[in-house]
Amino acid sequence: MEPERLITLHPVVYHMADARNWTSIERHGLLSTSALLDRCGVSGERRDALESSHRPTTVALPNPDGPVFVRDQHPLDQAALAGCLDDLTPEAWYRVLNGRVFFWPTRERLEKMLRAYGRSEQAVFEVDTRALLERHVDKTELSHINSGYASQRYPPARRGRFTFVPLRDYTYSASNKIAEVTVLDLVPDIFEVTLRVTLRQRELAERVLWQAGEAR
């Protein structure tokens, strides 16, 4: 897939972050879990556990800017995951997920994620796809499935090394649509490619936190 095709299909992509991480995001941009662990100086057994195993609850990490929060993985059932991996162990799959920043290609997918975490305040980034790709196309990989979800209620999608495909190698079709847009490691310049950020929480009106052209 050429970058222009993705831009035409999805001119805006969305990222959802724990609103408590706003100060960290302002200073450092969007960081993958692994990049957050680097910045917070987490190493050894604690780091290994956070990167290669299931997080049933949100984890707070100490940080000079104030604590940052790593989202839980409760939509990812461990037994279901073990049964749908083709060429990776569950531990390796968690490392794959923790090494990237995720964007939803449609508002519908964003809203599903918001409903799952609606009790807590979320910062929603509306990102200009063209601007994102101009800066990060070589680190952009696409997935045709929701990689962070697996349930025993329904047969989960198969996954493995083949799930995340570099943008230019992705074959788009009606049966292979894009479920996730990801950028490896971090997006330090997220405010340079974002149109606006809103605060969302269940049963409360959407509030604009920041928009392009404003000082932070």
What integer pLDDT is reported at residue 123 of this predicted model? 97
Average pLDDT over residues 180-193: 98
The dihedral of CA 165, 138, 75, 128: what is its sign? negative
What integer pLDDT is reported at residue 216 of this predicted model? 79
pLDDT exceeds cutoff 80 at 67: yes
The mean pLDDT value of the chain amounts to 95
What integer pLDDT is reported at residue 194 of this predicted model? 98
Q: Are residues 140 and 183 in contact, defined by beta-carbon separation less than 8 angstroms?
A: yes
| Beta strands per DSSP E along 42-201 | 59-61, 68-70, 100-103, 122-128, 140-143, 165-166, 180-184, 186-187, 194-201
What integer pLDDT is reported at residue 182 of this predicted model? 98
- 49: pLDDT confidence band, cut at 50, 70 and 90? very high
What integer pLDDT is reported at residue 204 of this predicted model? 79
What integer pLDDT is reported at residue 66 of this predicted model? 87
Identify the weakest region by mean pLDDT among 61-65, 152-156, 194-198.
61-65
Has this prediction a pTM greater than 0.85? yes
Coil/strand/helix, residue 197? strand
Query: Whole-angstrom Cα distance, residue 108 to residue 96?
Result: 24
Which candidate, 31, 57, 61, 35, places its Cα nearest to that of 46? 61
- Radius of gyration (C-alpha) of the chain in whole angstroms: 17
Instruction: Give per-residue pLDDT as tens, 104-133.
Output: 999 999 999 999 887 899 999 999 999 999
Query: Whole-angstrom Cα distance, residue 105 to residue 110?
Result: 8
What integer pLDDT is reported at residue 118 of this predicted model? 76
Query: Whole-angstrom Cα distance, residue 211 to residue 126?
Result: 9
- 208: pLDDT confidence band, cut at 50, 70 and 90? very high
Coil/strand/helix, residue 167? helix
Higher pLDDT, 136 or 119: 136
What integer pLDDT is reported at residue 126 of this predicted model? 98
What integer pLDDT is reported at residue 205 of this predicted model? 83
Instruction: Give per-residue pLDDT as tens, 91-105.
Output: 999 999 999 999 999
